[in-house]
Amino acid sequence: MTHKIWKKDYTPADFNDRCRGTAVTHMGIVCTRVGPDFIEATMPVDERTRQPLGLLHGGSSVLLAESIMSTAGNWTVDFPNEYCVGQEINANHVRSAREGFVVGTARPVHVGRSSQVWETRVEQDGKLVCVSRMTLAVIRRTTEKAPHA
């Protein structure tokens, strides 16, 4: 059984509003579900996200993964007193996609006081396209200005 890990009752609209006017909206990424311990978002496979051979660009998959994992991390901390920033990300691209949509689902591996590890599975039609893992540092606010959660 999963338990709710978010500090507030977040919705897909919270993610989509937070990302308005960023690379996330430029790439067509839209949050579709927020569960008790996961965030899910879709991304089109189109001219914005393909590489020259017509395949989903690996960097696009990583942008999708990092966007939902970074948001997820920030939703678990006491913002604005704390916030999360990425330290490392990796990805394994295991299947190509040429059209349609991919779905990324971020889930925690470790949520600690000073660091977090998240994993995103990017799938198309239930088949794994990419798996990505990200380490986040939890930063305690020491100045008057903190990034937007």
Q: How far apart are CA 29 and CA 56, in angstroms?
A: 14
3-state SS, residue 49: coil
Q: What is the largest CA-CA distance in the chain?
A: 47
Tokens representing 14 are: 């919270």
User: Which of 40, 47, 66, 123 is an active site residue?
Assistant: 66
3-state SS, residue 46: coil
66 is known as an active-site residue: yes
Instruction: Tell me the HSE value of 78 on the side-chain side, using a 13 A CA sphere.
Output: 6
Active-site residue set? 66
